[in-house]
Amino acid sequence: MAGITSYGAYVPLWRLKRDEIRPGLAGERAVANFDEDSITLAVAAATDCLRGIDRGTIDGLFFASTTSPYREKQAASIVVAACDLRHDVITADFTNSLRAGTAALRAALDAVKAGSAKRVLVVAADCRTGMPGSDLEANGGDGAAAFIVGDTQVAVSIDDYYCVSSEMLDVWRADDDPYTRTWEDRFVVTQGYLKLVQEAVGGLSKKAELEPKDITKAVFYAPDARRHQEMARGLGFDPKTQVQDSLFEPMGNTGAAFCLMMAVAALEEAKAGDTILLASYGDGSDAFILRVNEEIGRIGGNLGMKGHLASKLPVPDYHTYLRWRGILTTEAVRRPMTEPPSPAAMWREQDRNIHLLGVKCQVCGTTQYPPQRLCTRCRTQDRFDTVRLSDKKAELFTYSKDALAGTMDNPLVIAVINFEGGGRMITMMTDRDLDEVSIGMPLEMSFRKLGTQGGIHNYYWKCKPVRNRG
């Protein structure tokens, strides 16, 4: 039996009221902070999914997104490094389609079934940015979902799937397009979305000999809230009892991650014996049958969808959102441009900067970051144990609020933090509410982008206030 052994999700802290985009629109969209992108969202969801799991047991990582920060260069390998997974793992990026998330899920399932991996971490993440003022922008959202697909301790078996491929230009973005384009809505919905999802679900139902009444909960992609309702009726489900909420109200359409995030929300409410239908859309449709067993009770303790949705702060205004996405460029600080970091140095120092590994002296027990050749306290050479700090809680020792540092979250909070179990780091604090910054506040680590220069995305770990559970 193969299927889901753990799940996790990540919704950025920030929400923009749709009313800020176009007066009268209801609900809000989840917005990645200025220092987040699809890779950092993926790391956050993967971390949520990996809670309590030995990271050394993961054999592969599949990353799915329509908004990978690099056009050429694998994102999965960055997520592997940031999650401090083994490096003898299989990796792949699934991109260029709204269906990339379920394509990655299906490929992970096939890999596990074929025996090429025991446990594959699938992460789908997207930052859906539309042309300012467009429906895509208003309906869009940023977020990520993660699943571990394996063949032991399976909590949700993936019993069957059915896929259809379709060639049509309904939603697309050319190599040099800044924003996604769409063809006329009626064409997209009638000939694309409604037809293809129904075809995939119909094909799966026939193959698995299932009727709508056999489904506990139907989870499916939709371009907007209205189409979600329309699809529920078209598939023959009772929208009140059988359909997973579309999350348009609190979050928005997160593209390749969307139906998988809905699936995480459904699994959070699921109980043993439930049958879940999952269907994606994008250049065709993938439909899956998921069956929940007793192992589902083992998964928990993470924020998931429920915790992340409940924990939020408002984006101050639309202007701020435009700045965060780089749509509106403002004078950050009157200084000469800086040059990109050295790829050779980035490669050499990835254990400290991306894996966030510190060391603990085997002689005097001092934990120190970054790693040293000689112990800072007893000077012993090269006798250290490695300590992963990215999953450690920390406490704020002292801080400053820098008005001139030139980042978008002015004033920038610089933090001296002490890790639980020892070790100190000086880093930036992100996702902070200025009023809550105080000595002794509890913190956790978050993988973020420091900046982009010369086509190089420079990632690093910041600290942030511990996200509460709502």
Partner 1 sequence: MRGIKDRVAIAGMGCTKFGELWDKSEEDLMVEACHEALADAGLESKDIQAAWYGTNYTGFTGQMLAHALKLDYIPVTHVENACATATDAFRNAAYAVAAGIYDIVLACGVEKLKDTGYTGLDMTRFLPDGSKVAMTPRVPPPSQFALSAVRYFHTYGLSYDEGKRVLAKIAVKNHHNGTLSPKAHFRREITEEQAINAPILAYPLGLFDCCGVSDGSAAAIITTPEIAAGLRKDKDHVLVKGLGLTVGSRQGTLQDDYDFVHFEENVTAARIAYEDAGITNPREEIDLASVHDCFSITELIIYEDLGFSPRGRGREDVEAGTFELTGKLPVNTDGGLKCFGHPVGASGLRMIYEVYKQLQGKAEGRQLSKADIGLTHNLGGVPGSFSSAVTILGRAA
Asked whether position 427 contacts partner 1 by CB under 8 A, the answer is yes
Question: Least distance to partner 1 from the beta carbon of 468, Å?
Answer: 24
* Residue 267 CB-density burial (10 A; 0-12 exposed, 13-18 middle, 19+ buried): buried
Judged by CB under 8 A, the residue of 62, 147, 193, 419 near partner 1 is 419
Question: Least distance to partner 1 from the beta carbon of 345, Å?
Answer: 5
CA distances from 58 to 90, 105, 114, 149, 361 (A): 10, 15, 16, 10, 28
Binding mask 288-327 for partner 1 (x = CB under 8 A): ----------------------------------------
Rounded CA-CA distance 278/151 in Å is 20
Judged by CB under 8 A, the residue of 190, 362, 400, 410 near partner 1 is 400
Q: Phi/psi of residue 356, each to 5°?
A: 55, 60
DSSP state of 243: B
Asked whether position 405 contacts partner 1 by CB under 8 A, the answer is yes
DSSP result, 153-205: S-SEEEEEEEEEE----SEE--TT-SS-EE--HHHIIIIIIHHHHHHHHHHHH
**CB-nearer residue toward partner 1: 88 or 339:** 339
User: What part of residues 334-353 is at the interface with partner 1 (CB under 8 A)?
Assistant: 334-336, 338-342, 345-346, 349, 353
Q: Which of 121, 131, 128 is nearest to 67 (CA)?
A: 128
Contacts of 239 (CB under 8 A, 6+ apart): 229, 232, 233
Query: What tokens appear for 187 in the block?
Result: 């064409």
Q: Which residue type sits at 416?
A: V
**CB-nearer residue toward partner 1: 74 or 366:** 366
Name the segment binding partner 1 (CB under 8 A); options: 176-184, 230-238, 255-263, 450-458. 450-458
Question: Least distance to partner 1 from the beta carbon of 246, Å?
Answer: 39
Q: Which of 49, 11, 470 is nearest to 301 (CA)?
A: 49
**CB-nearer residue toward partner 1: 319 or 348:** 348
Binding mask 359-388 for partner 1 (x = CB under 8 A): -------xxxx--x---xx-----------
**CB-nearer residue toward partner 1: 281 or 461:** 461
Query: What tokens appear for 278 in the block?
Result: 């999952």
Question: Least distance to partner 1 from the beta carbon of 198, Å?
Answer: 50
Instruction: Tell me the angle at which helices 194-208 and 225-235 cross, rounded to the nearest 10 degrees.
Output: 40
Q: Which of 35, 26, 30, 25 is nearest to 11 (CA)?
A: 30
Judged by CB under 8 A, the residue of 423, 445, 463, 467 near partner 1 is 423
Question: Least distance to partner 1 from the beta carbon of 412, Å?
Answer: 8
Asked whether position 163 contacts partner 1 by CB under 8 A, the answer is no
* 448 contacts 459 by C-beta, under 8 angstroms: yes
Asked whether position 404 contacts partner 1 by CB under 8 A, the answer is yes
**CB-nearer residue toward partner 1: 129 or 367:** 367
DSSP result, 387-451: EE-TT--EEEEEEEEESSS--SSSSEEEEEEEETTS-EEEEEE-S--GGG--TT-EEEEEEEEEE
Name the segment binding partner 1 (CB under 8 A); options: 116-124, 209-217, 269-277, 418-426. 418-426
The residues binding partner 1 (CB under 8 A) are 334-336, 338-342, 345-346, 349, 353, 366-369, 372, 376-377, 397-405, 411-412, 414, 416, 418-419, 422-424, 426-428, 439, 450, 453, 458, 460
